[in-house]
Structure formats: structure tokens, C-alpha cells
Amino acid sequence: MTRKRGISTRQIHHPYRAPAGWNAVPVPVAKASTVLFRDTADLHDYKPRDGKSYRYGLHGTPTSYTLAARLATLEGAEHCLLTPSGLAAITLVSMALLRPGDEVLVPDNAYGQNRYLTESFLPQFGITHRFYDPLDAAGFKSLIGDKTKLVWLEAAGSITLEFPDLLGLIAACRERGVITALDNTWGAGVAFDPFALAHGVGVDISMQALTKYPSGGADVLMGAVYTRQQALHDKLNWTHEHLGYGVASNDVELVLRSLPTLELRYHAQDASTRTLATWMQSRPEVARVLHPALPGSPGHEHWLATSSDGAACLFSAVFKPEYAMAQVDAFVDALQLFGIGYSWAGPMSLAVPYDMSRSRSLATPCGEGVIVRFAIGLEAEADLRADLEQAFAALR
């Protein structure tokens, strides 16, 4: 009589395998820390991190490889690396490409955490930086020196939403052989093609906070780094491995689920954002509305030169100088449909007041006024307008 194995052993080593041939629309969620090898020969066979083989859960699963491949197509790239957040994607690029003695140039309106990384973390490694005006390509050119090894770009910039002279800035970097990296969270792979902008000009690297549009649900933190160049990808991949960046398959599943509606959501949110931004320009309390598609907004002409297919769900209103921060805060508190919070491109609209005098090195288009950045979600545009109207009434 054969010995009966224990309950746990029989569960863990259960011989049943579901029949092959399963086929459905969603990508199966593969979860693992341990990846099992067939035998010791398979174990000893070196498996490079090439996005094709399996070695360890951290290094990729069928689920994460599928997301990376779909995102690379969206971005017009050859290679994609997934990171645990958008910020981790930024850190990956800077850590992979910068060495002691190097300098990085960052736009003055860069995402706040990129500024913070550059100002307070990178100096520990002997990496210096300068902030530049993204609208002034001629002035930018004179900042590029022998130590400059990386230039960050962001289109449109954070909060004040100036659209940079991408073509001019990239041309200046090309001339000096400096690598360009674009934070493409705003464009999301829909508004323009970062690797093939007008006249065939493109960036070397792009990254996205998948936390925003690709998730779309305000429920995932994830990032991605893209390139078309094998040598650059190898460098990024090597650093990615050493930093121990991994993504959880349940999160990957959520992004995979949202990608088919990305383009529809992008355009729907774009349409209601532009309608509300245009309406906001007529408000007597507002000095200026910042949105790259509005004529007169900073960088509008660069947006026209670059963008073929839209704008993100963000606009900012600069309040007239007679409204102090406390009054603008009261306006934001009076809003009922707008949440107060940072991570945009989800279903709910958001509003955040900012005092720009504390977060920039160079001049901003805000003048003396307090700014409110609005992120438009998926609510009915007429409901959002009615909410803004009643909050303006509270301001007076």
C-alpha cells in the first residue's frame, strides 16, 4: 500500500493541470516570486533579461511582458521597462545615465518630484543641474556644456502647462550629442509621437506615469521608460535590475484592462477640458487660463507645431491678484464635484491651488496671481460648469 501524503503536500504538488487551449480577451494574470525551472540544466542555463525568458518574478512575467509590449506600441518605441511608479521611472533614467561630474538640464516647470530629485538627491552623487526656460530654445543652447549628459523635457510642463519648443530643444541637444528624455505623461502616447515628432525629429527616451491615463482608474501607481535604441535600453535595463524595480501582476492587470479605452478617454476628457477652459477665460475673477490649445497660452505655437492629436485633461486658472490665497482656497473648498488631490486622469475631476512663487527658479506666466490647476474627469461637463459657477459665487 502506498503511503498517503499530507493534505498540504497534496495541495502544493497537485497533479491536475487545466486543459491547454484557453483563449479569452483578457490577458491571464501570472503571479510569482519563484519561477520554477524544469531541471538543474535549465537552472544553470543563463537567462538574460531580454523580455523573453523567465528567471524570477521580479524580472518579468507573461503578464508584465505583455503590458510592456503593448505600451511600447502605444508610445512608438522598441523597448519598454515597467517601474513601480512614474517617479521611479524618472529616477531610473537619471540614475542610469548620470555619473559624478555630469550635469543634467531640467525645465523650470518640470514635475515637482523630478525637481526635488534633481535638487536634493542627485547632488549626493556629485551630479549638478541647471533649470532652463522651456520656451527659450536659443537661451537653452547656451546652457549646454561639456558636462551636460542628459536633458529632461516635459510637454506640457507641470501646473503652468507651458508647451516647450520641443523641436528647437531637441535640435540643440542633437547638435551637442546630448541625450534627451521626455516626461510624456501628459501626451500619454496619444497627443503626439515622441519618437517621431514633426520633421522626423524625436527624443531618445520617454517615460510615462502609467498612474495617470493608462490606469485611468485612480487606483494604480506604475511607470514606464521607453526607447528605440538598443544600447540605451541595455543601460536602462541594467540599472532597472540593480534598483530592484518590480511591478505587481494585479496592478499590471488593471492597466491592461484600461488600455483599450485610453484613446477614447483621452479625447473625451480633452473635449470637456477645452470647453471648460474656454468658458473659464470669460470669468471676471480669472486673469488668465493656461492650456496649450488656447491661443495666447504659453507655448501654444509649439503645441501646434508638435501635436497632431489632442491635449490632456488639465488647465490652470490664474486668479486676478486681488484674490488672496485664502480666498482661492475657499473657492476650491466650495467645489462639490472636484476632489482636492494630485493624481489626475482618473474618473473624478480635481482642483489644486498653488502659490507658484515658492516652486520655481525662473519667471512664471502667473504674475502675482494664485493659480488653480483643474484636472477634468469623466463627469458631465454641464455638471462641472454648474459646480464651478456656484463656487465662484462663494468667492464674491
With binding defined as CB under 6 A, does residue 216 bind ligand PLP? no
Listed ranges 59-67, 97-105, 207-215, 265-273: which one lies at the site for ligand PLP (CB under 6 A): 207-215
User: CA dist 388 to 106, 280, 344, 385, Å?
Assistant: 34, 9, 18, 5
Widest distance between CA atoms in the chain: 91
Q: Is 53 in the site for ligand PLP (CB under 6 A)?
A: no
Contacting residues for 155 by C-beta, under 8 A, at least 6 apart? 163, 164, 166, 182, 183, 184, 186, 187, 192, 306
Q: Is 359 in the site for ligand PLP (CB under 6 A)?
A: no
If one asks whether residue 269 binds ligand PLP (CB under 6 A), the answer comes out as no
Among 30, 68, 71, 87, the residue binding ligand PLP under the rule CB under 6 A is: 87
Nearer to ligand PLP, 63 or 85 (CB): 85
CA 25, CA 372: separation in Å to the nearest integer? 41
Query: How far apart are CB 223 and ligand PLP at their closest, in Å?
Result: 6
Residue of closest CB approach to ligand PLP: 86
Asked whether the beta carbons of 373 and 351 are under 8 A apart, the reply is yes
For the bound state, the minimum distance from the C-beta of residue 251 to ligand PLP, rounded and expressed in Å, comes to 11
Q: Taking CB under 6 A as the rule, does residue 160 contact ligand PLP?
A: no
Distance, CA of 191 to CA of 308 (rounded, Å): 6
String of contacts with ligand PLP for each residue 310-349, x by CB under 6 A:
---------------------------------x------
Which residue reads 490647476 in cell numbers?
Answer: 373
- Selected range binding ligand PLP among 33-41, 208-216, 324-332, 367-375, rule: CB under 6 A: 208-216
161 binds ligand PLP (CB under 6 A): no
Answer for the pair 47, 54: CB distance below 8 angstroms, yes or no.
yes
- By CB under 6 A, how many residues form the interface with ligand PLP? 13
In degrees and rounded to multiples of 5, residue 314 shows phi and psi of: -115, 140
What are the strands, taking DSSP E only, across the chain?
Answer: 79-83, 103-107, 128-132, 148-154, 179-183, 205-209, 223-227, 286-290, 314-319, 350-354, 371-375
Cβ at position 115, least distance to ligand PLP in Å: 11
Task: Pick the closer one to ligand PLP by CB: 87 or 317.
Answer: 87
What 3 state SS string does 294-360 have?
Answer: CCCCCCHHHHHHHCCCCCCCEEEEEECCCCCHHHHHHHHHHCCCCECCCCCCCCCCEEEEECHHHCC
- Listed in sequence order, the residues at least 6 apart from 365 whose beta carbon sits closer than 8 Å to its beta carbon are 160, 162, 288, 290, 298, 318
Q: Which is nearer to ligand PLP, 173 or 209 (CB)?
A: 209
Instruction: Tell me which of 185, 227, 249, 258 binds ligand PLP, using CB under 6 A.
Output: 185
> For ligand PLP, what does the binding mask look like between residues 99 and 138, x meaning CB under 6 A?
------------x---------------------------
| Smallest separation (angstroms) from ligand PLP to the CB of 321 | 28
Select 144 or 225, whichever has its Cβ closest to ligand PLP: 225
Residues that bind ligand PLP in the complex, under the rule CB under 6 A:
85-87, 111, 158, 183, 185, 209, 211-212, 221, 223, 343
